[in-house]
Every structure is written in C-alpha cells, then in structure tokens.
C-alpha cells in the first residue's frame, strides 16, 4: 500500500507529463463537455490488473479516439481501462456528472487525489440503489476542486460481443443544471403519463361497457406508448424495476416496446377502420407488416442479428407503421368514412411530433428545450383526436341503434299489418267458403224445387189455381238462385276487377234478355285494365245494371235493347236504351227501381241520368269516375 501512496504523490507532481493529451478544461463556455478526445486507454487482456499496477506502470496506456478506434471484443469477459484528466477553470469548486455508455455491465471509477483513492461504481448490472449516482443511467459524481487538475481511472467490463458498447463516455454535465432539467422533465412527463393513464382507464371502461374491440386495442396502444416514453427517459428502470438490472439490459438491447407499440397501432387501425371488410388488401398488408416486426424482434432476441441492426430495422418499420396508419386514414376519409377525419388528424400530429424529435436528435436543428417535448405534444394531440374519433364512433353506433330500432318498429308494424291482412283474408275465405257451401247445398235444393214446380205446372191434369201457385214457386226459386250466384260472384275477391265487372255485366245482360226473347245489341271496350275496384262499388254498379234490365222487362214492352259500355276520360260509362213504350218525363213520378239506381250511384260517387219519350223508348245512362272506385 505504501507504494500506492508514494506513486500517488509522484503522479500528482508529474501526472500530466505522462499523458499524451491535455486535460479537459471545465469552464463556463459550455454546459456539456465531451472527453472522447482526451482519454487514454488499454485493454486488460488477462483481466487481472489492479489499480496499484496501473498506477505503478502506466506504459500500457495510449491516446485513444472513440470515433477512430473501434473497440474489439471476444466472446468471454472483456476488460478495458481508460484514464483522463479534468481541469477546473472556475474560481470555485464544481460538481459534475460523468455519464458513460449504459451498455457497460460494470464500471469501477477511481478518483486519485494526493491523500487517497476514491472508488465509485455504476453500470447496467448494478442495481440503482448501489450506484454512486442513483439513476437508471450509468453515471458518477465528480467534485472538481477550485483551480485544480485531477486524474481519473475507469475500469469497464462487458461479457461477450453481441450488442457490445461502442464507446466509453457519453457526456459531462454540471450536476446543478442537470437536476434542474431533470425536475422539469419529470414534471412534464408526469403530466403526460397522467393523461395517458386517464385516457387508458376511460377507454377501458368504454370497452367493458360497449364490448367493442377498438377500445381495447386503443388501451393497449396507450400502454405501449407510455412504456416507450418511460423507456426514453429510463423511468421504467428507475420506478418499475430499479433492483432488477438484467431487465434493464434486456430492454436496452431488444426493441420490445417499439415492436409492441407498432403492433397495436396497426391492430387499432384495422379494427377502427374495419379494414377486413372495407379495405381487404390493406388489411392483408398490415398483417404482413406485423409479421415482419415480430420476426425482427425474434431475430434480435435470438442473436440472429445484431442489436443495433434490430433497433435500426425497428425504427424503419416504425416509420412504415405510421405511414401505413396515415395512408389508411386518408383512404377511409376519401371513401366517406365519417370518423376517419379524427383518426387522420391524430396520426398527422403524432407523425409531426416524431419527425421533429428525430430531426433534432440526429441533426440538432432546433434548440434543446424545443427538442425535449415534440413527441409528447404530438401524441397528446393524437390522443385527443383519437378519443374524439372513438366518441364519434359511439355517436354513430347510437345512430345505427336508433335506425335499427326504427327498422324493428317498422318491421313490427308491417308484421301487424300482415297479421291484420291475413286475418281479413281468413275471414274473406271463410265467407267465401260459407257462400260456396250455401251454393252447393241450398242451391241444389232450390234447383230441384224449381225443376219439380215447372214439371207440375206443365201437367195438364192440375187445376188452374194450383198451376199458378207452382209457377210462382218456380219463379221464386229461380230468382233466389240468380241472387245467390250474384252474391257468390261479388264475394269472390278474384272477381272484383274492372275487367271482370264488365264481363259479368255482359254475361248477365245476355242471359237475362235472351230468356225474355228480347234482342240485345251491345258494344264493349276491346281491352280493359285488370285493376281491382272496391267490392262495394262492384256490387252497386252491377245491381244498378240489373235493376235497369229488370225495369225494361217489367214496364217497357220492348222488343230490343242496346247496351254500350265504354271507358273514356277516366270514367266508366254504361248506357242502356230500349225501343219500348216510353213515357213523358214531365208527367213521370220516379218509382222505387229508378230511385234505387240513383241512390246506388250517389253512394259510390257516380251519376245517373234518364231520357224517355212517349212511344219512343227509354235511355238510362250511368257514369262513374274510375278514381272513385279503384282500390288503392
């Protein structure tokens, strides 16, 4: 030990004569200092050299430039030593923080003074609580005395050659300024993480309420986004697992969070825009991207590719992911997807924030303060617009539900109407069945009575009084049969068309007048539209024609009748003219038959006119507007 202290005194007297490079001057010109060009190093191949031997024999050290001389590693444990000197250019003591590359597993830091050697420890395998500067970063405190030059020795360890560190030191910062910046960062990031947490809980609640997968995917996206920002500032190592340094090493070498976030961005895009149905080719492309990102992650985890290569590929994929989400939103917006405008706006702000951060981080284009938070600001706006998009989706779901309810009500009303129609049809069928049963049973009996009464009436043996009675029975039975046939005809819904009405008038008038030996001349339309007319109108028109023919048979003593049926100017016109005895209209008192015809026409909105002269016959005309009788 005496040799160490003797050498320490000797070293302090002649130290800087031994260095190939000048000590780094710490002055007010800058707040950040780079010692990469002021260090000397050598590789401890045997891994057994101690600080005592280093102090006694420093001939192994040589000037080293981190940019020009890459570090060589082998598969076993690698040990390197460096030394450097700092000169305090202030007139007061200054406390500094020296940051090392965080991939070094163990770092032993020695500060050599005239009285003793101060040993400090840090590194990725050292828990936060055991580090000299309790931080997730690999850093040590340095106290530079006023106007002095101090020498520092550092021993680095790293096992293997995969994902190896490429340099020793990172930065020297005034501790007071770093702590001020750190406090500001923690306040801003705390607010940002608070927003992420609130949004995640809110959307998780919506997911359990609505059972829409889009909300769950968005919650996972928020969680992955929060983990990325925690990793950027090492808050995950500081607060989530500070005493588990192996996790820190794993997450620093493998791009878990980036792949995780990219995956959920694309899955959320697929679900929210429903790409499986709306854009099937784009849906397939997104699945391919997710598969590629998982392959890159596995290749990095299994050491198939270098860690830096994995991070680089993940960064490229991240840009592609954002571009794909942006392109998907743009397509959906152009296709008229209402909610896509919010989705698209959110992705744009998130992309802008990420691009500004990357430009500043690589090229230092913007001031440092501006660089710190563009991603947070962009993603906060992104969260706002994504939330608006999801809220708008809720509104669309409400509108869709309202439409479904209206459709359901309409379907129920339609079903009720169909049920009523079916009931009416059933009633109509029952009436028709009863009418046909009456025709088959009662009608056949009436026909038999008519036949027998006619046979008896024609028998010469009967007295005249009995013959007259049997003729009356025959006539009554015949009339009942005719009325029954007319009733059945009217009851049958298949017969209530304008075409069938005219056909029935034609058939009845021909049969009726033929039985009376009256010549009939008639004319009818060549073509008649088979439109359905009201059943009541059908009956009233037919009964008016029947009443008119009955009047001719009873009163006119005509030998021929002319009947004309025509359709013109959307009117149905039926004209019946006979060559009978006629009468003087001025002296005529309208009987029940003509009153019935007039009443029937008034009932259905038609008109009835009659013209007659003594010994010149009579002409009856009925006119009915089709709009009054057609069934709508």
Query: What is the side-by-side strand order in the sheet with 519-523?
Result: 519-523, 560-568, 571-578, 618-625, 607-612
CA 322/CA 335 separation, integer angstroms: 20
CA 221/CA 581 separation, integer angstroms: 103
Query: What is the radius of gyration, based on Cα positions, of the chain?
Result: 54
Side-chain half-sphere CA neighbours of 16 within 13 A = 12
Two tokens, residue 276: 């499986």
What is the β-pairing status of strands 169-174 and 94-100?
antiparallel
DSSP state of 238: I
Q: What is the CATH number of domain 2-179?
A: 2.60.40.2380
What is the β-pairing status of strands 519-523 and 560-568?
parallel
**pLDDT 10s digits, 109-132:** 998 876 778 899 999 888 888 898
The three-state secondary structure class of 27 is: coil
User: Residue 360's pLDDT band (boundaries 50, 70, 90)?
Assistant: low
CA 565/CA 563 separation, integer angstroms: 7
User: Residue 434's pLDDT band (boundaries 50, 70, 90)?
Assistant: low
pLDDT surpasses 80 at 363: no
pLDDT the model gives residue 624: 92
Q: What is the distance between the terminal CA atoms of the chain, rounded to a whole angstrom?
A: 119
pLDDT the model gives residue 456: 66
Q: Could you tell me what percent of the chain has a pLDDT over 90?
A: 12
For residue 348, how far is the Cα from the chain centroid? 20
CA 300/CA 110 separation, integer angstroms: 35
DSSP state of 240: I
Task: Say if CB 548 and CB 620 are below 8 A apart.
Answer: yes
Residue partners of 58: CB distance under 8 A and separation at least 6: 18, 83
Q: What does the pLDDT average to over 516-521?
A: 86
pLDDT the model gives residue 35: 82
User: Residue 433's pLDDT band (boundaries 50, 70, 90)?
Assistant: low
**Residue that wins the pLDDT comparison between 491 and 143:** 143
pLDDT surpasses 70 at 229: yes
Question: What's the pTM value of the predicted model, to 2 decimals?
Answer: 0.58
CA 597/CA 548 separation, integer angstroms: 8
**Residue that wins the pLDDT comparison between 509 and 482:** 509
Q: Is domain 496-632 annotated with CATH 3.40.50.720?
A: no
pLDDT the model gives residue 17: 45
pLDDT the model gives residue 369: 46
CA 290/CA 58 separation, integer angstroms: 53
Residue tagged 């023919």 (tokens): 549
pLDDT surpasses 70 at 315: yes
User: Residue 446's pLDDT band (boundaries 50, 70, 90)?
Assistant: low
User: Residue 409's pLDDT band (boundaries 50, 70, 90)?
Assistant: confident
Query: What is the side-by-side strand order in the sheet with 32-33?
Result: 32-33, 169-174, 94-100, 139-144
Q: What does the pLDDT average to over 497-508?
A: 87
What is the β-pairing status of strands 149-159 and 62-64?
unpaired
**Residue that wins the pLDDT comparison between 454 and 560:** 560
Side-chain half-sphere CA neighbours of 201 within 13 A = 5
Average pLDDT in the chain: 80
Residue partners of 444: CB distance under 8 A and separation at least 6: none
**pLDDT 10s digits, 274-290:** 888 888 999 999 999 99
Q: What does the pLDDT average to over 476-500?
A: 66
User: Residue 16's pLDDT band (boundaries 50, 70, 90)?
Assistant: very low
């Amino acid at each position: 030990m005496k040799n160490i202290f003797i050498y320490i005194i000797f070293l302090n007297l002649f130290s800087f004569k031994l260095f190939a490079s000048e000590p780094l001057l710490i002055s007010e010109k800058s707040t950040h200092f780079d010692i990469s060009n002021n260090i000397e190093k050598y590789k401890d191949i045997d891994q057994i050299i101690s600080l005592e031997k280093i102090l006694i024999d420093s001939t192994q050290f040589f000037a080293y430039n981190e940019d020009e001389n890459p570090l060589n590693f082998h598969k076993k444990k690698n040990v390197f030593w460096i030394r450097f000197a700092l000169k305090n250019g202030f007139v007061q003591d200054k406390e500094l923080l020296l940051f090392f590359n965080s991939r070094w597993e163990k770092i032993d830091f020695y500060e050599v003074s005239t009285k003793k050697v101060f040993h400090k420890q840090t590194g990725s395998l050292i828990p936060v609580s055991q580090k000299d500067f309790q931080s997730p970063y690999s850093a040590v405190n340095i106290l530079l005395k006023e106007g002095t030059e101090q020498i520092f020795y550092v021993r680095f360890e790293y096992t293997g050659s995969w994902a190896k560190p490429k340099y020793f030191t990172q930065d020297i910062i005034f501790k007071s300024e770093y702590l001020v910046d750190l406090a500001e960062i923690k306040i801003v990031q705390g607010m940002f993480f608070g927003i992420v947490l609130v949004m995640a809980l809110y959307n998780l609640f919506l997911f359990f309420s609505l059972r829409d997968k889009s909300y769950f995917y968005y919650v996972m996206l928020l969680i992955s986004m929060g983990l990325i920002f925690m990793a950027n500032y090492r808050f995950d190592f500081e607060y989530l697992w500070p005493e588990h340094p192996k996790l820190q090493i794993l997450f620093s070498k493998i791009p878990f969070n980036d792949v995780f976030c990219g995956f959920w961005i694309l899955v959320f895009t697929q679900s929210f825009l429903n790409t499986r149905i709306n854009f099937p080719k784009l849906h397939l492309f997104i699945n391919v991207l997710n598969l590629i990102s998982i392959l890159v992650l596995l290749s990095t985890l299994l050491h198939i590719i270098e860690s830096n290569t994995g991070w680089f590929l993940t960064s490229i994929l991240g840009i592609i992911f954002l571009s794909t989400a942006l392109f998907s939103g743009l397509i959906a917006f152009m296709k008229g997807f209402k909610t896509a405008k919010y989705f698209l706006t959110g992705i744009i702000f998130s992309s802008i924030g990420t691009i500004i951060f990357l430009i500043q981080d690589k090229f230092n284009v913007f001031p440092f303060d501006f660089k710190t938070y563009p991603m947070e600001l962009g993603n906060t706006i992104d969260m706002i617009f994504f939330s608006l998009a999801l809220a708008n989706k809720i509104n669309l779901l409400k509108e869709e539900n309202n439409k479904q309810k209206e459709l359901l009500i309409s379907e129920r009303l339609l079903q009720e109407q169909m049920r009523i129609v079916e009931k009416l049809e059933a009633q109509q069928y029952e009436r028709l069945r009863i009418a046909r049963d009456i025709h088959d049973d009662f009608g056949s009996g009436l026909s038999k009575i008519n036949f027998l009464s006619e046979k008896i009436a024609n028998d010469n043996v009967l007295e005249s009084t009995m013959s007259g009675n049997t003729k009356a029975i025959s006539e009554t039975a015949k009339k009942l049969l005719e009325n029954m046939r007319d009733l059945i005809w009217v009851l049958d819904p298949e017969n209530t068309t304008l075409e069938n009405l005219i056909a029935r008038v034609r058939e009845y008038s021909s049969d009726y007048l033929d039985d009376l030996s009256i010549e009939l001349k008639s004319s009818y339309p060549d073509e008649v539209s088979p439109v359905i007319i009201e059943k009541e109108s059908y009956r009233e028109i037919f009964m008016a024609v029947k009443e008119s023919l009955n009047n001719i048979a009873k009163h006119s003593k005509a030998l021929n009748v002319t009947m004309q049926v025509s359709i013109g100017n959307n009117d149905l016109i039926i004209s019946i003219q006979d060559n009978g005895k006629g009468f003087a209209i001025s002296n005529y008192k309208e009987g029940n038959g003509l009153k019935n015809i007039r009443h029937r026409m008034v009932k259905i909105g038609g008109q009835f006119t009659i013209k007659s002269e003594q010994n010149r016959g009579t002409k009856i005309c009925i006119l009915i507007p089709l709009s009054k009788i057609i069934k709508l």
